[in-house]
Structure 1
Amino acid sequence: MGCSFSGLNALYDAVNGGTDVWINENRFRIVRQLGEGGFAFVYLVKEVLADSSSASAGSGLAKKLKDSSHVSDDGTYAMKKVLIQNSEQLELVREEIRVSSLFNHPNLLPLLDHAIISVKPTQETSWNHEAYLLFPVHLDGTLFDNAKTMKAKKEFYSTSDVLQIFRQLCAGLKHMHSLDPPYAHNDVKPGNILITQRKGQPPLAILMDFGSARPARRQIRTRSEALQLQEWAAEHCSAPFRAPELWDCPSHADIDERTDIWSLGCTLYAIMYGLSPFEYALGESGGSLQLAIVNAQVKWPAGPKPPYPEALHQFVTWMLQPQAAVRPQINDIIIHVDKLIAKFSP
């Protein structure tokens, strides 16, 4: 299941002043930076073909990709560059690449190609490897970006669009939860959901960033194991969307993919209202995010007029059950969301 990194190369083309990058045998020109976080940078890149007329003839990246739907019409892609400073970070990137290669679903962002190279640290730089990960590009941004824009305009998604976006996320997660062994995403949140607007259709929703994805089922049998899990979750699972059992794990517990169901409930709330149902606790003096989450203290803000149906609020509450053992599974969620779509779609 491991990846082989021998023979991979991603080299800047010095002739072009460092604006071109080779990922294996394919060359890409950096158009502009799209975002950054920590030691990772995301760029919009455009494939440079030796013969521009041969793009449709199955040359370059198109020749390499098994799924032709991933080939960009205009040759543009998103490239994530990660600066790796130590062996632990290197292992994390390798694991992200390995895990990403397990998935193949239209609502999960596919990794199209990747390369890891060794570099010599200098006086100005401290990293010893660079990783280049290539993905399809979605320029409409994330659900988080869209929520900020909509909040500023006092706009809300229609009930139908809320349900259709959510249904797509469920489809992507079902693919992950159905693997053997099942995988949990572990960081489902608006910032990890790409939204693409479509004329006359609900927005397309794609779940991305599998850096925290791991086999979902873990047996916790000691206090030490419980604390280790909490420590791991604090680093890999965004706090406002993190399940209660990852905040306060018992010394004897069976953790499973229902950690994602909690995050999914928080995300459905966020599709409606633009933030996690527990973020209010961050703004209250003496408020505790952890307490709000472990006690499932949800507050419902003013929404659109007319308001969202009460059935959507009940749906969120069903997923936000503090006891993981009584939380629904992804198949239960899909049956229910399909009923709601049938009831509330125009």
Structure 2
Amino acid sequence: AGSARRRREGTCARARVQALPARRWLHTSLHSSVIFRSAAQRIGAQPLVPEKVVADIEEQYKGVPSVKGMSSWFSGWGQGLGLSGGLSGLGLAKSIITIGGRQVRLQRVLAEGGYAVVFAGQDVSTGEGLAVKRIIAADRETADRAEGECQKHAQLRHEHILPFMGMTKQKRKDGGYEVYLLLPLCDGGHLWDYASTHSLSLRDKLRVVAEVASALAYMHEVPLAHLDLKLENILLDDDGGGQQRCLLCDFGSSISETMDCGSMSRKERLDLEDHIARFCTPMYRAPEMVDLYAGLSVGPPADVWALGCICYVLCFGVHPFGEASAVQIITAAWAPPRDRVCDASMLELIGAMLRPQPNERPEAKGVAAAARGLISDLASGIDEPQRIARL
């Protein structure tokens, strides 16, 4: 999985290089620490990238895997050349922005996606560590969508949902907008990185399922369906007792009503298809999201499906639909790896969440209750057959 992710990041970086005006391909090794200097020289953009800037970038990304550094650098550089993204990595120590009445100094890049950059920052007055999500909007429609994400997030208050702390919007000289969200800084990173570097016990896995399912159950009552639930959208933070707690984040793909594909117009179906294609990660999409012409409804059960995928990854270290094959997803054609062992009760829980028909999956609150029950059974020493029967 890590290798696949590195390949995706490398592909993303190469695509960004090709989009630059000179259209010159960079053959320099992705693992070379001089990639930034070579890039500047090869495409003839020296006036845009002076020596001091290159040195600043190299210093900022010291100790960061070079592929990630390159990806962030080219996305940022592209904005300076009129492309999407922004100069996300330059001069952050001097960048101060006011959000929700608080002055925040941006310090470093934490993560970067197709539509946003997340920075680690610090409250100028108190020194508190904070996170700032910057969304680049090329037009008013995109800016309105970003504000919609803020409004959805602001109404959510749950112990396992990342708190919303404020937002601000700024007009850009090119006519676009920058929308900034102020969020708590979670030192534990996201669940994908944590699960990749730690050995999780059965109790740990069940606790993740219980906490995320409880957050989803709350959202579904609002009502909101997340529609892009994945390990990278689950942050970890200290719960005050020395344990990591899960915090659900990133609500840009969420919808506020169940979409009945069987009764919607052609335009509505195309709009939903576009929304899913742009904002929902392929390998976590539920069958009803993959085939909108099946006449099923897209809503909360899709989140339960995604949680089933997460549970599978926690148990086996690989994704049940790693190639994102439409046929595999629609038919729910998954199976546990033959060379890996998983607790039978976890397999039953995964199987319940990965049912192809959305109305046959348990509700999120039922999943949370089942996971808590299994945790209680583990503490009580109840044997395996009884624990399976409880599901």
Q: Shorter-chain TM-score: what band?
A: 0.7 to 0.9
Say which structure is richer in strand: 1
In the TM superposition, residue 202 of structure 1 has moved relative to its aligned partner by: 4.5
Give matches, 1:298-337, under 5 Å.
Answer: 298-301=334-337, 307-337=341-371
| SS of match in other structure, 1:325 | helix
| SS of match in other structure, 1:250 | helix
Task: Give the equivalent residue in structure 1 for 2:191.
Answer: 143
1:213 to 245, 254, 276: 254
What percent of counterpart residues are identical?
27
The amino acid of 1:94's aligned partner reads E
Residue by residue over 1:84-118, the C-alpha shift from the partner in whole angstroms, topping out at 9 and shown as x without a partner, is: 11122112101101111110011011110110011
| SS of match in other structure, 1:133 | strand
Contact 1:223–1:250 (CA under 8 A) maintained in structure 2: no
Give matches, 1:117-266, under 5 Å.
Answer: 117-121=170-174, 128-150=176-198, 156-179=199-222, 182-196=223-237, 202-220=243-261, 221-222=263-264, 224=266, 225-250=268-293, 252-266=295-309
How many angstroms apart in 1 are the aligned matches of 2:345 and 2:289? Answer: 28
The amino acid of 2:187's aligned partner reads L
| SS of match in other structure, 2:168 | strand
Moved more, 211-220 or 196-205: 196-205
Give matches, 1:273-288, under 5 Å.
Answer: 273-279=316-322, 282=323
In the TM superposition, residue 33 of structure 1 has moved relative to its aligned partner by: 1.8
TM-score normalised according to structure 1 size: 0.76
In the TM superposition, residue 23 of structure 1 has moved relative to its aligned partner by: 2.1
Residue 302 and residue 191 in structure 1: after superposition, are their counterparts in 2 closer, same or farther (change >3 A)?
A: farther
Contact 2:93–2:107 (CA under 8 A) maintained in structure 1: no
Residue by residue over 1:102-159, the C-alpha shift from the partner in whole angstroms, topping out at 9 and shown as x without a partner, is: 10011011110110011212xxxxx621111110001221111223334xxxxx3100
Residue by residue over 1:263-287, the C-alpha shift from the partner in whole angstroms, topping out at 9 and shown as x without a partner, is: 11111112223342111xx2xxxxx
Residue 44 and residue 256 in structure 1: after superposition, are their counterparts in 2 closer, same or farther (change >3 A)?
A: closer
Residues 1:292 and 2:328 are matched in the alignment: yes
How many angstroms apart in 1 are the aligned matches of 2:169 and 2:239? Answer: 35
In the TM superposition, residue 174 of structure 1 has moved relative to its aligned partner by: 1.1
Say which structure is richer in helix: 2
1:103 to 156, 167, 172: 156
Residues 1:82 and 2:123 are matched in the alignment: no
Residue 116 and residue 203 in structure 1: after superposition, are their counterparts in 2 closer, same or farther (change >3 A)?
A: same
Q: Does 1 or 2 have the higher relative contact order (CA < 8 Å, sep 6+)?
A: 1
The amino acid of 1:332's aligned partner reads G
In the TM superposition, residue 227 of structure 1 has moved relative to its aligned partner by: 4.1
How many angstroms apart in 1 are the aligned matches of 2:272 and 2:103? Answer: 41
Task: Give the equivalent residue in structure 2 for 1:92.
Answer: 145
The amino acid of 2:303's aligned partner reads D
Aligned residues: 287
Residue 37 and residue 163 in structure 1: after superposition, are their counterparts in 2 closer, same or farther (change >3 A)?
A: same
How many angstroms apart in 1 are the aligned matches of 2:117 and 2:181? Answer: 10
| SS of match in other structure, 2:146 | helix
The amino acid of 2:337's aligned partner reads P
In the TM superposition, residue 161 of structure 1 has moved relative to its aligned partner by: 0.4
Task: Give the equivalent residue in structure 2 for 1:339.
Answer: 373
Residue 82 and residue 227 in structure 1: after superposition, are their counterparts in 2 closer, same or farther (change >3 A)?
A: closer
Contact 2:207–2:372 (CA under 8 A) maintained in structure 1: no
Task: Give the equivalent residue in structure 2 for 1:28.
Answer: 104
Residue by residue over 1:157-192, the C-alpha shift from the partner in whole angstroms, topping out at 9 and shown as x without a partner, is: 10000001111101111110112xx21011111010
How many angstroms apart in 2 are the aligned matches of 1:216 and 1:206? Answer: 23
| SS of match in other structure, 1:184 | coil
The unaligned stretches of length 5 or more in structure 1 are 1-15, 50-54, 56-73, 122-126, 151-155, 283-287
- What is the RMSD computed on CA atoms of the aligned residues? 2.3
The amino acid of 1:293's aligned partner reads I
The amino acid of 2:325's aligned partner reads L
Residue 226 and residue 81 in structure 1: after superposition, are their counterparts in 2 closer, same or farther (change >3 A)?
A: closer
How many angstroms apart in 2 are the aligned matches of 1:41 and 1:297? Answer: 35
The unaligned stretches of length 5 or more in structure 2 are 1-91, 382-391
How many angstroms apart in 1 are the aligned matches of 2:213 and 2:359? Answer: 19
Contact 1:223–1:251 (CA under 8 A) maintained in structure 2: no
How many angstroms apart in 2 are the aligned matches of 1:230 and 1:246? Answer: 8
In the TM superposition, residue 256 of structure 1 has moved relative to its aligned partner by: 3.0
Contact 1:273–1:301 (CA under 8 A) maintained in structure 2: yes
Moved more, 193-202 or 246-255: 193-202
